[in-house]
């Protein structure tokens, strides 16, 4: 996460990680505008590059060759990345509405979400056909089909509906790959039958006659049955029917026809064309709202008719970035001038391609190599960041209104300490107005009737469990950070076998414009409260001060039976017990790698998902299976916390390195020597290891010292119940739960832990 000293003055929000927005991110990385914060919201961290998709299907490229890692690109650009689905825009409030998180505020907005297949127009298509978009879902279906064809003996029929460049290219790529797979299995490749359906009398209607005839030849040579003037009007399970009454039984029906705009765009009030695409001026600004831009397939230029092709989406990136910048700077916008003819390099699956531009036509293996060179060069731009250095223009001062001017000066001036460093009461009360902590009967005075302090009742027969935790934001996403900080703090209560009752928050927020500070507090606290509420824990108070970095912590009170019957201590381990860990480890190395652009975005996604998993349900399950001791994994890492358990228990322990559940990518980043800044302090505990020399080369060895944020539970369970306990924990959603070792009687040697390699 990059920490900037300039206060945030304006927010540009990008919806979708399409071909134009990856260009915008790249351009802002090259030339940042101080005071402007970019946020990209996208459903897919791995965003596909359409030009190479057929090559991936044909088997010439791997998954990562044809996808741009949006989280990593955003990190490089100093932008926020939110993985979510946008479901609307509240233009009056200037907020983007997301499916899973609170609304995201913008000063300027851009939409680049591609197109949506129009399956609803044809009976049965939504249920029984496979649309090519979104490509993530198509890819899942494609991998399943590959598997099915290889396993299933006998003929397979594939029908592609739509004979534009996308449909033809995709069909040839699928056929090439599947025939190769069948041949490799020693089966007859002719078991595969391919059909192409065109609503028009000819295929590739927007290309010249020479290109069309070349593809007619390729399709005939490959035995593809082409159905012309055959509009598909009905789809059922394994069957399609055309307007002329022709019926075909097919194992897979792939839909690559003309698409429309996403349904949610209709509720935005933006002017749309008859297919539901956003009408934009030459500046790429919406016809309706000058603060909203659109680019790529989801935009319909008012004064130009463009084919829906990635090449235009890519070209729009530069003028779009420039106009977003100019909108913030209140400068005149520039026009995007689309080219009249554009070059399409359409592959035939077998490392051969056909070039089409206006009346121009060429074909050959050399054309494929040319396409491959162009595509690889494009992708390198978004994956190889090392040698680049950003140019920041010192002269660009964002125009502000008078009141904003004062706030901005104050945000960078010397700030007061003591009580003067509190976030202002108005900002705070506005930010918290929409945050709704749960109310509990045992909270007598809390946030619903704020006072100097909260008052809570301890029910008879119960005792209070206290804990406190606090840390700096490790990710530039206040909502997610709030959720993880709350989950992390609750972990100690659950690990003791307690139920969370009430929480007070302590936070620091970087100074800035009031509206931006307010939004940060709102995002962070609504994330935190969503988790506290789920845990039944009432937020009863807190303190928010200014600080250089965003940070959040909680003092949490929990309740537990007074006679301590359900208390889970660290010191109850018995020889013979099995050691169980409920979540994978590796968050420390992964986030260290993320900030150095060395982690894949999907590894970070998975780590963030894991950090949000609550330990709450795991504890009763462990207790029911007779757990003898338990702790939650946090900063000291697995080894540190294990030693904290063996010492008071008076036992030794054995850890099996091969069995450790590890987050995707963590072994790679640790092997690359990328470790958390806390790791060296944790490594000092290696003196607790009996046979360190034998284990030091094991890929999981460094992860023993990796500090965890919101880690899982480490518990000792009697051997007789261990297997059923693991099965029950997996059933509760702790899918990575593993038996990682066992408890031994205390031996003669000083070092308590033995590693099994």
Q: Could you list the active site residues?
A: 419
Contact between 268 and ligand FAD by CB under 6 A: the answer reads no
Please tell me what DSSP assigns to residue 69: E
Answer for which of 7, 12, 14, 16 binds ligand FAD (CB under 6 A) is 16
Q: 55-94 mask for ligand FAD (x: CB under 6 A)? A: ------------------------------xx--------
DSSP H or E run through 756: strand 753-756
Answer for which of 39, 45, 110, 112 binds ligand FAD (CB under 6 A) is 112
Sole window of 236-244, 266-274, 290-298, 610-618 interacting with ligand FAD (rule: CB under 6 A): 290-298
> Closer to ligand FAD at the Cβ: 85 or 694?
85
Looking at 40-164, list the stretches that DSSP marks H as alpha helix, in order from N- to C-terminal side: 53-58, 70-76, 125-128, 135-151
Distance CA 353, CA 364 (A): 6
Residue with tokens 């030459």: 282
Sole window of 11-19, 214-222, 244-252, 593-601 interacting with ligand FAD (rule: CB under 6 A): 11-19
What's the Cα-to-Cα distance from 236 to each of 160, 255, 460, rounded to whole Å? Answer: 15, 13, 64
Answer for which of 43, 233, 288, 566 binds ligand FAD (CB under 6 A) is 43
Contact between 233 and ligand FAD by CB under 6 A: the answer reads no
Structure tokens at 209: 């006659």
> Closer to ligand FAD at the Cβ: 47 or 676?
47
Residue 446 CB, shortest distance to ligand FAD, in Å, is: 37
Structure tokens at 144: 């399943």
Residue 17 CB, shortest distance to ligand FAD, in Å, is: 4
> Closer to ligand FAD at the Cβ: 356 or 467?
356
Helix axes 19-30, 310-329, angle to 10 degrees: 50
Sole window of 41-49, 386-394, 583-591, 673-681 interacting with ligand FAD (rule: CB under 6 A): 41-49
Residues with Cβ within 8 Å of 711's Cβ and at least 6 positions away in sequence, in order, are 491, 583, 585, 587, 632, 633, 634
Size of the site for ligand FAD (CB under 6 A): 35
Contact between 315 and ligand FAD by CB under 6 A: the answer reads no
Contact between 132 and ligand FAD by CB under 6 A: the answer reads yes
Sole window of 37-45, 89-97, 120-128, 670-678 interacting with ligand FAD (rule: CB under 6 A): 37-45
Contact between 145 and ligand FAD by CB under 6 A: the answer reads no
Distance CA 380, CA 393 (A): 26
Sole window of 309-317, 415-423, 444-452, 555-563 interacting with ligand FAD (rule: CB under 6 A): 309-317
Contact between 17 and ligand FAD by CB under 6 A: the answer reads yes
Residues with Cβ within 8 Å of 290's Cβ and at least 6 positions away in sequence, in order, are 327
Contact between 657 and ligand FAD by CB under 6 A: the answer reads no
Sole window of 303-311, 321-329, 395-403, 642-650 interacting with ligand FAD (rule: CB under 6 A): 303-311
Residues with Cβ within 8 Å of 673's Cβ and at least 6 positions away in sequence, in order, are none
Contact between 284 and ligand FAD by CB under 6 A: the answer reads no
Residue 46 CB, shortest distance to ligand FAD, in Å, is: 9
Backbone angles phi, psi at 250, to 5 degrees: -140, 145
> Closer to ligand FAD at the Cβ: 323 or 708?
323
Contact between 309 and ligand FAD by CB under 6 A: the answer reads yes
Q: 342-381 mask for ligand FAD (x: CB under 6 A)? A: ----------------------------------------
Contact between 260 and ligand FAD by CB under 6 A: the answer reads no
Contact between 313 and ligand FAD by CB under 6 A: the answer reads yes
Answer for which of 14, 29, 73, 113 binds ligand FAD (CB under 6 A) is 113
> Closer to ligand FAD at the Cβ: 170 or 525?
170
Sole window of 175-183, 291-299, 573-581, 688-696 interacting with ligand FAD (rule: CB under 6 A): 291-299
Residue 116 CB, shortest distance to ligand FAD, in Å, is: 8
SS3 300: strand
Please tell me what DSSP assigns to residue 333: -
Task: Say if residues 111 and 292 touch (Cβ distance below 8 Å).
Answer: yes
Can you give the three-state secondary structure of 334-402, one letter per residue?
A: CCCCCCCCCCEEEECCCCCEEEEECCEEEEEHHHHHHHHHHHHHHHHHCCCCCCCCCCCCCCCCCCCCH
Contact between 23 and ligand FAD by CB under 6 A: the answer reads no
Q: Which of residues 455-514 bind ligand FAD (CB under 6 A)?
A: none
Residue 133 CB, shortest distance to ligand FAD, in Å, is: 6
Count of all residues that appear for the chain in the document: 757
Using alpha carbons, select from 581, 739, 595, 587 the residue that is nearest to residue 664.
587
> Closer to ligand FAD at the Cβ: 17 or 482?
17
Contact between 601 and ligand FAD by CB under 6 A: the answer reads no
Task: Say if residues 20 and 296 touch (Cβ distance below 8 Å).
Answer: yes
Answer for which of 34, 59, 88, 134 binds ligand FAD (CB under 6 A) is 134
Q: Which of residues 167-226 bind ligand FAD (CB under 6 A)?
A: 169-170
Q: What is the DSSP string of 647-671?
A: HHHTEEEEEEGGG--B-TTHHHHHH
Structure tokens at 5: 């000293």
Residue 217 CB, shortest distance to ligand FAD, in Å, is: 20
Residue with tokens 């929000």: 13
Residue 344 CB, shortest distance to ligand FAD, in Å, is: 6
Answer for which of 75, 107, 297, 514 binds ligand FAD (CB under 6 A) is 297
Residues with Cβ within 8 Å of 756's Cβ and at least 6 positions away in sequence, in order, are 654, 655, 656, 657, 658, 741
Distance CA 312, CA 444 (A): 61
Residue with tokens 């261990």: 722
Contact between 51 and ligand FAD by CB under 6 A: the answer reads yes
Structure tokens at 127: 């249920």
Answer for which of 32, 78, 296, 497 binds ligand FAD (CB under 6 A) is 296
Distance CA 400, CA 196 (A): 57
For 630: left if phi > 0, alpha if psi spans -120 to 50, otherwise beta; the answer is: beta
Distance CA 344, CA 307 (A): 11
Distance CA 469, CA 637 (A): 16
Residue 376 CB, shortest distance to ligand FAD, in Å, is: 14
Sole window of 166-174, 523-531, 540-548, 716-724 interacting with ligand FAD (rule: CB under 6 A): 166-174
> Closer to ligand FAD at the Cβ: 18 or 707?
18
Task: Tell me whether residue 154 is exposed, middle or buried, using C-beta atoms within 10 angstroms of its C-beta: 0 to 12, 13 to 18, 19 or more.
Answer: exposed
Sole window of 36-44, 576-584, 607-615, 738-746 interacting with ligand FAD (rule: CB under 6 A): 36-44
Distance CA 262, CA 101 (A): 20
Answer for which of 7, 11, 19, 171 binds ligand FAD (CB under 6 A) is 19
Distance CA 481, CA 499 (A): 22
> Closer to ligand FAD at the Cβ: 107 or 297?
297
Residues that bind ligand FAD (CB under 6 A): 15-20, 41-44, 47, 50-51, 53-54, 85-86, 112-114, 132, 134, 166, 169-170, 256, 262, 296-298, 308-311, 313
């Amino acid at each position: 996460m990059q920490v900037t000293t300039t206060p945030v003055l304006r927010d540009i929000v990008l919806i979708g990680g399409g071909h134009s927005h990856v260009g915008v991110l790249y351009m802002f990385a090259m030339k940042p505008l101080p005071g402007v914060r970019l946020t990209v919201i996208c459903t897919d961290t791995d965003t596909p590059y359409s030009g190479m998709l057929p090559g991936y299907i044909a088997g010439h490229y791997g998954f990562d060759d044809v996808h741009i890692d949006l989280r990593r690109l955003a990190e490089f650009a100093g932008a926020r990345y939110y993985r979510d689905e946008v479901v609307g825009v509240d233009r009056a409030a200037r907020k983007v509405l997301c499916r899973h998180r609170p609304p995201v505020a913008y000063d300027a907005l851009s939409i680049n979400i591609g197109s949506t297949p129009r399956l609803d127009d044809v009976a049965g298509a939504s249920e029984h056909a496979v649309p090519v978009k979104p490509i993530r879902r198509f890819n899942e279906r494609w991998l399943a089909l590959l598997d099915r064809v290889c396993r299933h003996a006998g003929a397979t029929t594939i029908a592609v509906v739509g004979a534009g460049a996308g449909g033809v290219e995709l069909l040839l790529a699928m056929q090439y790959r599947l025939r190769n797979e069948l041949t490799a299995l020693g089966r007859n490749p002719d078991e595969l039958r391919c059909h192409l359906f065109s609503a028009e009398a000819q295929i590739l209607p927007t290309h010249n006659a020479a290109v069309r005839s070349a593809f007619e030849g390729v399709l005939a040579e490959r035995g593809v049955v082409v159905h012309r003037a055959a509009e598909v009007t009905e789809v059922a399970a394994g069957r399609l029917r055309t307007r002329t009454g022709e019926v075909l039984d097919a194992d897979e029906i792939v839909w690559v026809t003309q698409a429309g705009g996403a349904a949610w765009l209709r509720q935005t009030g933006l002017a749309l064309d008859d297919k539901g695409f956003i009408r934009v001026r030459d500046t790429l600004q919406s016809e309706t709202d000058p603060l909203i831009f659109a680019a790529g397939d989801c935009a319909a230029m008012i004064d130009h008719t463009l084919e829906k092709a990635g090449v235009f989406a890519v070209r729009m990136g530069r003028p779009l970035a420039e106009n977003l910048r100019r909108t913030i700077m209140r400068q005149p916008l520039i026009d995007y001038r689309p080219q009249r003819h554009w070059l399409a390099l359409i592959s035939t699956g077998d490392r051969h391609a056909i070039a089409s531009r206006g009346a121009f036509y060429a074909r050959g293996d050399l054309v494929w190599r040319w396409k491959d060179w162009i595509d690889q060069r494009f992708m390198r731009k978004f994956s190889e960041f090392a040698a680049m250095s950003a140019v920041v223009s010192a002269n660009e001062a964002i125009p502000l209104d008078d009141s904003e001017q004062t706030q901005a000066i104050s945000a960078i001036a010397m700030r007061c300490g003591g009580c003067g460093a509190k976030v202002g009461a108005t900002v705070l009360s506005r930010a918290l107005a929409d945050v709704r902590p749960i109310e509990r009967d045992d909270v007598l005075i809390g946030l619903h009737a704020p006072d100097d302090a909260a008052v809570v009742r301890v029910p008879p027969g119960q005792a209070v469990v206290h804990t406190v935790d606090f840390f700096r934001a490790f990710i530039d996403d206040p909502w997610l950070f709030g959720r993880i900080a709350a989950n992390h703090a609750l972990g100690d209560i659950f690990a003791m076998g307690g139920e969370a009752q009430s929480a007070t928050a302590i936070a620091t927020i970087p100074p800035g414009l009031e509206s931006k500070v307010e939004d940060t507090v709102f995002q962070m606290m609504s994330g935190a409260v969503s988790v506290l509420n789920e845990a039944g824990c009432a937020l009863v108070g807190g303190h928010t001060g200014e600080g250089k970095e965003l940070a959040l912590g909680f003092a949490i009170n929990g309740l537990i039976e007074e006679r301590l019957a359900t208390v889970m201590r660290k010191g109850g381990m018995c020889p013979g017990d099995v050691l169980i860990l409920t979540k994978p480890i590796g968050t420390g190395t992964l986030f260290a790698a993320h900030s150095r652009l060395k982690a894949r975005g999907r590894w970070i996604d998975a780590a963030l998902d894991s950090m949000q998993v609550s330990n709450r349900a795991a504890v009763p399950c462990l207790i029911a299976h007779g757990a003898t001791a338990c702790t939650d994994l946090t900063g000291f890492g697995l080894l540190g916390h294990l030693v904290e358990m063996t010492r008071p228990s008076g036992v030794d322990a054995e850890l099996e390195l091969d069995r450790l559940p590890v987050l995707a990518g963590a072994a790679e980043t640790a092997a690359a020597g990328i470790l958390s800044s806390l790791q060296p302090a944790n490594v000092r505990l290696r003196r607790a290891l009996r046979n360190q020399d034998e284990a030091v080369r094991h890929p999981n060895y460094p992860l023993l010292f990796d500090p965890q944020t919101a880690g899982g539970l480490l518990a000792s369970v009697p051997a007789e119940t261990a297997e059923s306990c693991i099965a029950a924990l997996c059933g509760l959603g702790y899918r990575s739960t593993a038996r990682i070792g066992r408890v031994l009687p205390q031996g003669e040697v000083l070092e308590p832990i033995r590693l099994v390699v």
